Structure 1
Amino acid sequence: MPNPDRADVALSTDGRYRLLIEAITDYAIYMLDRDGHVTSWNPGAKRFKGYEADEIIGHHFSTFYTDAEREEGVPARALEEAARTGRFEREGWRVRKDGTQFWAHVIIDPIRSPLGDLVGFAKITRDLSERRAAEAKLRESEQQFRLLVQGVTDYAIYMLNARGEVASWNAGAQRIKGYAPDEIIGRHFSDFYTQADRDIGVPKAGLETAAREGRWEHEGLRVRKDGTTFWAHVVIDAIRDDAGQLIGFAKVTRDISERRQAEEALRDAQATLMRSQKLEAIGQLTGGVAHDFNNLLQVISGNLQLLSKDIAGNRRAEMRVQSALAGVARGAKLASQLLAFARRQPLEPKVINIGRLVQGMDDMLRRTLGEEVEIETVVAGGLWNTLVDPDQIENAILNLAINARDAMDGHGHLTIEVGNASLDDEYARTHDDVAAGQYVLLAVTDTGEGIPRDALDRVFEPFFTTKPEGKGTGLGLAMVYGLVKQSGGHIKIYSEVGSGTTVKLYLPRAMESEDVLVVVPHGQVRGGDETVLVVEDDDEVREVAVSMLGELGYRVLKARDAASALAIVESGLPIDLIFTDVMMPGCVRSPELARKAKERLPNVAVLFTSGYTRNAIVHGGRLDPGVELLSKPYSREALARKIRHVLANQAQRQVAPPVVTKPSSQNALKGAAVLLVEDDNLIRSTTAEMLADGGCQVRQARSGEEALKLLELERVDVLLTDVGLPGISGLELARTARERWPDISVVLASGDSAVSSDAAFLRASLVVKPYTPESLRQTIAKSLFMREPSKQQR
């Protein structure tokens, strides 16, 4: 047994530090004088660099650097930085005595006298070669995390006596753990451990292992002075005197909290990326399925509509056809849900107040969910607007409510909350595909059975459902997910088995004023006698389209692909409109067909159709500028209206601007402020010239949203708007203008004369495309004349 008195003498202050440094073999710890010459050398330094003490003491420490770094002056800069800033820390290549190199982590601290004079430097070097080689095999992203963390590593180096009491304390220990030397020296090192670790004997086991095997290495939670915890990497080496008696322990602690957090973040990011890639792959598949499905629905729907004329008067047959058409509508809804999940359906977003939309759904929700479901709607005051397709968000709310009802087995409490929310940078960093900013939050909460944790990651997949077989399609949440993502939002689901589920939709805030949603009646549709080239690769779909157009009176040509269609165009046959599917096989794509056809036939109109637009003519969920699309499956009436609209716009583009206008026309319109709203650039510029030549003061807008902003700012006598605008339609714009500015004159422009009933409903005038300067002047003059005398001036 050692003599305690002799041990205490041996462990004087200078002795403790000498023994501490001499016991450490995993770190090279030595001193330099002010000029960088080695003045001390520990066993760790000998093991790393190969020099005996008498071989290196007195030599300049630049001996350990490569020739290239010496030529660049790296050693001198290292000492200069340490003296200037109080610390130098780097990783780099160092040279051993035998000429081999190793990757080292180096810390240089200045040593100053009590008066503050620089007397030398303390240098700690660690061989990181093995760690660096292992990290080279990891993925690049993980390597970046690790190198980032390792590059800012700090060390706490201190000594324990044989009983585990702190005997010395360095600056690194104070910085990491928060204790000053006089606060911790003499206390047992187990104070740094959590209560749980102390209860199971981790500190004692560490000392016993180090005493028995010479070394103990461990990672775990440690406690700072202020009670906070950090994750530490700890090495304890046994210290023995010359007789081999245990006199204490050398302890090196490294804070690796950032590294562990980075590793956990990487694992979370990898898991999120895998889920995102899985949903994207499923979306591509479902989008293709929806395209083929819509083609089949178009064949069925088209033939049923053609058949309805043949069976007119046969009530029983008519009922069966209507029943079959209802089935087509359900199939179209299913395909629409698939496209919504795939984020491939063209949306018609509008600036809306979701609170009003939810409150307007109250009766429908109560009828749908039944009397045993108690519905509570909470709408926050000062609610922001958001830009979203109102029909699609209404479907999403209905889907969420039905899912909630089923989860509650038909009875329970359903809460729909709408409020403002802000997602900060921290939230965005930890969630996939979320931008920090202001959102409108829509939350649907039920008191149902909840969703098992292992199913939460799959609830947004198409056809995945937790409901019993036959109780759901598994497309409701998939549709909601796709809509929210396509609208630029974020969706989050929370659930606990037995405690219910909450689905939160975050939709980006819109700064524009709320659009007015309006539904107006439509009149009868009509056909024409123009020539239409139908381009469709599906034989049955093509024949249905040809039959529909033929019944509407059009002359019809047909082609099975874009290349064949180009051959017909180049044959010289007169063609007024090309009606082409977007997705077709072959080397010529539909947009290219449209471009080349217009080069040969500048006056030809183009109408696209598809059940799956992918990214050919739709980007960001919206049609490309100047593109007309009729989605499959379409009805005979929808086809007729769209054809007339596209042909009328093309005809209007061909109307030449006026050269001379009669003085009477100038007098009738002179000074009238006209707001012209038209999305087609050529039609807009030509019409503006017609109006200006007639004496009007013309303001122009390309969309209903832009027009409403101008109406807020400027006096307008006449609103002249095209009916088929993107976003807010011309009819909706007219209705909004009527409500806000009752004395304004409204003129609708359309190629469909059946819009006359809509115009009458809105107390507006109608000018049918293609219009001439004179017909346009007369219509505007008439609209101004029809205003009440008291409203002749706004």
Structure 2
Amino acid sequence: EKRTLDVWLTVNPADYDGRAAALLIARDVTERRRVEAERARLALALEQATDAVIITNTDARISYVNMAFEKFWERRQSDVLGQPLTVLGAEDPEIVFDMQKTAMMGRPWRGRLRHRRRDGRTVICDTTGNPMRDEKGDLVAYVFVQRDITRELELQEEYFQAQKMESVGRLAGGIAHDFNNIMTAILGFGAMILEKMESDNELRHAVEQIVTAAERATNLTRQLLAFSRRGVAQVRRLDLNSALREMEGLLRRTLGEDIELALRLDPADCCVMADPGMIQQIVMNLAVNARDAMPRGGRLVISTRAVSLDDEFCRTRVKLRPGNYVHFTCSDAGCGMSPDVLARAFDPFFTTKPPGTGSGLGLSTVYGIVDRCGGHVEIESEIARGTTVHIWLPMVEAVGEAAAPTAEEETRGGSEIVLVVEDESMVRDLAVRVLSSAGYAVLSAADGREALELVEKLEGRVDLVLSDVVMPVMGGLEMAESLQEKYPHIKVLYMTGFSDRDLTERGRRVPGERILLKPFTRDALTRRVREILETAKKARTHTEAEPS
């Protein structure tokens, strides 16, 4: 047999028959060297492992820790060797005591430990402990393996939060269509009654209350759709600083005289892509929360700052990518939130306010809108110290804005032929009445197929079709596609109570500039109709003026 052996030689002087000699003792240490090499490999593996490893003796005193331990616990090996497990300084001393007791008893252990790092961040490790026994079964040591699961739990929490939003969003989206049809009729007919009613009519106040209640109900629906990311957004380039300055008067009235408002706006451009109405909703929701947190008065500071976020900052914030952002903060000096309340701050319908004084949708709405804009929101709060809401929104370059139309241009009527297509009789009747009173020649149909038949009878003599999107028999998009193949001059304006997300899920994607959201006011309806007809008229004039 040919094999290489590791041999340990011992040489000693000796006397052999009166002559000087040497005594050589050769010992085969091949197996011993193999075991030592294996032990060295295991030690190297432990040192390079990403999980923290703690080995204790039978008295539950630390005899070994690896490099990952030093990194996670921010303790050097020399500081903890020979010490009990309580030297870890975890935030859960009862759990550490249980670990120590279990190790001394030689039983398996599993649990989680929380540790506040020097930078103030709390990290969580999943810990598994198992006894080490010799051939006789006697306990010789105990080994704990700890894995940092902080990031995993954060991702899990974000996933659960998204699931909650999705569930309530589906519910909100499901009722929004019918609810918005009802609100359209109530608001529209209510406004028509008020217009015809004398100012001293004893019923006028009652009608005004009906309209006000409908507006509140409409706002609640919009909040539901906003936090669930199912509202129809009118996104455009928006200077956040300008928006806040325009809102300053409204904010001061909302906060009251006993709360000081301070705007600290970055002198640099702070432009984002967002729906102005949704940004206003964010600011107002945060302002109302701050006001309610300071019943005896105080100070609210709203600030903006152009920032550049790096990989390290974005690593723990799933929605963010390195780049330029607008950092928006809202800080109050109010009562603050406990850790339990803070953990549920973004939950839909969760509120600490007395019954009847809050919907529980304020911060949920903020979360949904910010998420929709590709941003991130965080809250830091401490009891009796106040609350600061941090929002990061992707920044875009500033460009000049086109001049807005005047009020007269927005609401004037016309004499063109308009076809109203709507399966809800209340909404159809309202649209017909409003447009007729504005001077238009108005026709109506209950579904897409009926509308096509009517246009054929008129041989295409229709200027604009105002159509619902989702209808029985034939929907608005299918109707418009068939209509414009034969009569491309006919313009189409869609009205819908569905959100853009719900329409997309139904396979009915509608361009945002051609949507009129329900519930709409009389002025909004006449303005949008006029805008589309005027745009078409200018396009025809330009075409006719071009040389052939």
TM-score, scaled to structure 1 = 0.52
Match of 1:237 among 130, 133, 145: 133
| Per-residue Cα deviation, 1:664-710 (whole angstroms, up to 9, x for no partner) | xxxxxxxxxxxxxxxxxxxxxxx8xx3xx6xxxxxxxxxxxxxxxxx
Partner of 1:474: 360
Deviation at 1:595, TM superposition (A): 1.0
Deviation at 1:529, TM superposition (A): 3.9
Deviation at 1:282, TM superposition (A): 0.8
Does the alignment pair 1:344 with 2:238?
Answer: no
Deviation at 1:490, TM superposition (A): 1.5
SS in 2 for 1:615: helix
SS in 2 for 1:286: helix
SS in 1 for 2:428: helix
Match of 2:379 among 493, 498, 523: 493
SS in 2 for 1:550: helix
Distance 1:252 1:297, change over 3 A: closer
Question: Retained in 2: the 8 A contact 1:369–1:410?
Answer: no
Match of 1:613 among 487, 499, 509: 499
Partner of 1:377: 263
Deviation at 1:468, TM superposition (A): 0.8
Partner of 2:333: 447
SS in 2 for 1:522: helix
Partner of 2:469: 582
Match of 1:635 among 502, 521, 524: 521
Match of 2:193 among 307, 317, 321: 307
Match of 1:190 among 78, 82, 88: 82
Question: Retained in 1: the 8 A contact 2:468–2:475?
Answer: no
CA distance in structure 2 between the partners assigned to 1:335 and 1:160 by the alignment: 63
CA distance in structure 2 between the partners assigned to 1:312 and 1:160 by the alignment: 92
* Structure with the greater alpha carbon radius of gyration: 1
SS in 2 for 1:557: strand
Match of 2:426 among 540, 545, 552: 540
| Per-residue Cα deviation, 1:348-402 (whole angstroms, up to 9, x for no partner) | 4444443344344444333322222233333345464323333432332122112
Question: Retained in 2: the 8 A contact 1:421–1:440?
Answer: yes
CA distance in structure 1 between the partners assigned to 2:66 and 2:393 by the alignment: 48
In structure 1, what residue type is equivalent to 2:371? Answer: K
Match of 1:435 among 311, 321, 329: 321
Question: Retained in 2: the 8 A contact 1:159–1:250?
Answer: no
CA distance in structure 2 between the partners assigned to 1:163 and 1:463 by the alignment: 48
Distance 1:494 1:304, change over 3 A: same
SS in 2 for 1:506: strand
Question: Retained in 2: the 8 A contact 1:155–1:252?
Answer: no
Does the alignment pair 1:413 with 2:299?
Answer: yes
Match of 1:593 among 468, 473, 479: 479
Deviation at 1:217, TM superposition (A): 6.0
In structure 2, what residue type is equivalent to 1:601? Answer: Y
SS in 2 for 1:270: helix
CA distance in structure 2 between the partners assigned to 1:305 and 1:159 by the alignment: 79
Aligned runs of 1:688-699 on 2, under 5 Å?
Answer: 690=546
CA distance in structure 1 between the partners assigned to 2:98 and 2:502 by the alignment: 67
Distance 1:654 1:218, change over 3 A: same
Does the alignment pair 1:465 with 2:351?
Answer: yes
Distance 1:276 1:457, change over 3 A: farther
Question: Retained in 1: the 8 A contact 2:99–2:109?
Answer: no
CA distance in structure 1 between the partners assigned to 2:190 and 2:261 by the alignment: 41
Question: Retained in 2: the 8 A contact 1:532–1:555?
Answer: yes
Partner of 1:99: none
Aligned runs of 1:351-750 on 2, under 5 Å?
Answer: 351-382=237-268, 384-513=270-399, 515=401, 520-523=406-409, 525-570=411-456, 573-574=459-460, 575-586=462-473, 588-615=474-501, 625=511, 627-654=513-540, 657=543, 690=546
| Per-residue Cα deviation, 1:179-208 (whole angstroms, up to 9, x for no partner) | xxxxxxxx99635956369997988985x7
Which segment is superposed worse, 393-402 or 351-360? 351-360
Question: Retained in 1: the 8 A contact 2:229–2:369?
Answer: yes
Deviation at 1:404, TM superposition (A): 1.1
Deviation at 1:442, TM superposition (A): 1.7
CA distance in structure 2 between the partners assigned to 1:399 and 1:163 by the alignment: 53
In structure 2, what residue type is equivalent to 1:376? Answer: A
Aligned runs of 1:154-165 on 2, under 5 Å?
Answer: none
Q: Which runs of 5+ in 1 are unaligned?
A: 1-13, 15-38, 43-107, 112-120, 126-148, 179-186, 211-215, 222-228, 659-686, 694-772, 774-794
Distance 1:520 1:460, change over 3 A: farther
SS in 1 for 2:82: helix
Distance 1:158 1:398, change over 3 A: closer
Distance 1:109 1:418, change over 3 A: farther
CA distance in structure 1 between the partners assigned to 2:178 and 2:324 by the alignment: 39
Aligned runs of 1:51-200 on 2, under 5 Å?
Answer: 190=82, 195=87
Question: Retained in 2: the 8 A contact 1:492–1:504?
Answer: yes
CA distance in structure 2 between the partners assigned to 1:604 and 1:165 by the alignment: 82
Distance 1:351 1:515, change over 3 A: farther
Distance 1:580 1:109, change over 3 A: farther
Distance 1:123 1:461, change over 3 A: closer
CA distance in structure 1 between the partners assigned to 2:129 and 2:342 by the alignment: 35
CA distance in structure 2 between the partners assigned to 1:177 and 1:270 by the alignment: 24
Distance 1:156 1:322, change over 3 A: closer
Deviation at 1:287, TM superposition (A): 3.0
Question: Retained in 2: the 8 A contact 1:383–1:419?
Answer: no
Distance 1:467 1:548, change over 3 A: same
In structure 2, what residue type is equivalent to 1:487? Answer: C
Aligned length: 488
Partner of 1:5: none
Partner of 1:18: none
Question: Retained in 2: the 8 A contact 1:190–1:203?
Answer: no
Question: Retained in 2: the 8 A contact 1:526–1:640?
Answer: yes
TM-score, scaled to structure 2 = 0.72
Root-mean-square deviation (CA, aligned residues, Å) is: 4.8
Distance 1:338 1:217, change over 3 A: closer
Identity of aligned residues (%): 32
Deviation at 1:277, TM superposition (A): 0.5
Deviation at 1:657, TM superposition (A): 4.0
Q: Which runs of 5+ in 2 are unaligned?
A: 1-7, 9-29, 71-78, 114-123
CA distance in structure 2 between the partners assigned to 1:294 and 1:403 by the alignment: 27
Question: Retained in 1: the 8 A contact 2:55–2:62?
Answer: no
Partner of 1:334: 220
Deviation at 1:504, TM superposition (A): 1.8
In structure 2, what residue type is equivalent to 1:589? Answer: G
Partner of 2:17: none
Question: Retained in 2: the 8 A contact 1:591–1:617?
Answer: no
Distance 1:422 1:122, change over 3 A: same
